[in-house]
Amino acid sequence: MSKKVINVALLGLGTVGTGVYKVLKMQQDDMEDKIGARAEIKKILVRNLKKAAAKIEEPELLTNDWKEILEDDSIEIVIEVMGGIEPAKTYMLEALKAGKHVVTANKDLVASYGQKVLDCAAANNRDFLFEAAVAGGIPIIRPLKQCLAGNHLSEVVGIVNGTTNFILTKMTQEGMEFAEALALATRLGYAEADPTADIQGLDAGRKMAILASIAFNSRVTFEDVITEGITHISAKDIRYARELGCVIKLMGLARNTDSGIEVRVQPMLVPQEHPLATVNDSYNAVFVKGDAVGDAMFYGRGAGEMPTASAIVGDVFDIVRNILFNCTGRISCTCYKNLPVKEAEDIESRFFMRLHVDDRPGVLAGIASVLGNNNVSIAQMIQRHKDGDLAEIVVVTSKVREGNFNDAMMIVEGLNAVHKISSVIRVYGGQR
């Protein structure tokens, strides 16, 4: 096996692109011994040449012309870190058709158009790798496709958004309300200027679509994922969760059931003894259940310049090895099944709900009657606080079909004695 140089093109030089540039530089001295060749950046595609020139040592690598990369046959790997759907999707497909391999961190694109790009890669016997699209520097895509391939996986659950986990950690540990914790996250750079994708669960939803597709070998797109954010979570909810022996986390949950795949992102009460309950600040973790491996958890930095670059460069190294041994395109799309994806109303969950009601006899019995008539069983109930003539109660249900629970809530909300349903949050795990 002769040692050689593999030329790489980098599309984008933002936070992640700059990290990739740095990591490849850091690895230069070890690269030939580690993977049998050197991966060197030959071109970097940017919009603003002057701004980008200040970030790197070799401004001569910069271009704003995609065709310079596409038509250069010496460039064998394209790394896409531009983000967004277009022109990223067009560039990826054109690169694959031109015989180049592609690495990306683009979760938006993979979650909605992954199958199209994977099919194109397979048709051209090229690699399309996207480890960095989920959970930043945490290895999870490759373990699911390779290391855990000997399992039938039943569940993938995790904390896959660092911004929301930081916010909920501050609310839990310091008693902050949501707005205060979000402001802190923004000041420290954990939240974007527009945090909508994070706090509404959309970012995590895209990642769960990718994880579910790979784990269960059946295509799940972002449009299939039930998403709910954390904007309605209050410090009071978190205090009640603590009384119940739980913490509140924004959880991505995918299950493979006999009646189909359920995949959702929702705030949930997580029992304090569960490993995910201890994942704090901006850290991410993914917990996997398999029939052979049992339980396994992957934990680490879920985003950021260098952790994400770590995953991207790992993919580049994998492709370099494949090129050297002439075995490219060996692992493409693994979705060989066509399983149904369950509707929200057919999923079974446990629920935590906090209500303000009249403080008088018979109210609790009336609420319990409505719940019972809709097959909603009460597992726990707390009444601790009063607000004038109103009582605040917390009800935790046993596992129930969501459609039944929603029907019950419509009736409860209409009861004269019920002034407000302040919170409805799902509970992860526990009794049926």
Contact assessment for residue 153 and residue 292, using Cβ atoms and an 8 Å cutoff = no
Give the C-alpha distances (Å, rounded to integers) separating 170 from 53, 156, 185.
38, 26, 9
Contact assessment for residue 130 and residue 103, using Cβ atoms and an 8 Å cutoff = yes
**Residue in 42, 107, 207, 249 annotated catalytic:** 207
What is residue 252's DSSP assignment?
E
What is residue 199's DSSP assignment?
H
Other C-beta atoms lying within 10 Å of the C-beta of residue 161: 28
At residue 176, φ and ψ (nearest 5 deg) are -70, 150
How many residues belong to the chain? 432
Query: Residue 24: helix, strand or coil by DSSP?
Result: helix
Three-state SS string over 157-168 comes to EEECCHHHHHHH
Contact assessment for residue 398 and residue 240, using Cβ atoms and an 8 Å cutoff = no
> Measured between alpha carbons, how far is 315 from 27 in angstroms, rounded to an integer?
14
Start-end of H helices in 363-425: 363-373, 402-413
Other C-beta atoms lying within 10 Å of the C-beta of residue 389: 9
Give the list of residues 6+ apart from residue 240 with CB closer than 8 angstroms, or none: 352, 354, 382, 394
What is residue 218's DSSP assignment?
B
Q: Which residue has the tokens 């923004």?
A: 186
The torsion defined by the Cα of 82, 102, 141 and 197, in degrees rounded to 10, comes to 20
What is residue 255's DSSP assignment?
E
Indicate if 207 belongs to the active site. Answer: yes
Residues with a catalytic annotation lie at 207
